[in-house]
Amino acid sequence: MERNRVSQAKGANAQKKAEITIKFGKGLIGESFTTKKGKEVVEVKIPNRDGDSKPWESFIISPKMIHDNKFGKGVWMKLPENGNTKVSRSVCEGKDENGKNIWRRESREVSN
């Protein structure tokens, strides 16, 4: 009985965290893969603005956080409003002696 009262008190005092909703097309979701730590994730691409020819940035997220839109062909997800998300893109650094491109991953943190 005592445990039940404590959980009710915590629920009454708990503040709801502010979230933002991101809506995007299913075509921006990549294939799911498993990280080195054994976690299943998907890559979500972020299209560039018109006129920007750089490779698209992307972020990875659990596929459980992505939901189908009931009224359209897209999907949506929620992120904490006060959080940060790590986005990255491939950047060409030049060519090797065989003429193949040398790529590296460029990452940055953006606020939600």
Q: Write out the residue range of the structural domain in which residue 42 sits.
A: 17-111
* Contact of 66 with 77, CB cutoff 8 Å: yes
pLDDT band for position 112 (cuts 50, 70, 90): confident
Is the residue at 33 inside a domain? yes
Asked, for residue 2, whether it belongs to a domain, the answer is no
Residues of the chain above pLDDT 70, percent: 87
In contact, 59 and 88? CB cutoff 8 Å:
yes
**3 part of a folded domain:** no
**Is position 32 within any domain?**
yes
- Quick one: average pLDDT of 82-90? 91
Q: What is the per-residue pLDDT for 73?
A: 82
Whole-number pLDDT of residue 52: 78
Work out the pLDDT band at 15, boundaries 50, 70, 90: low
Q: Give the number of domains in the chain.
A: 1
Q: What is the pLDDT of residues 26-72, one digit of tens each?
A: 999 998 999 999 999 999 999 888 777 888 999 999 999 999 988 87
Given pLDDT bands bounded at 50, 70 and 90, which one contains residue 17? confident
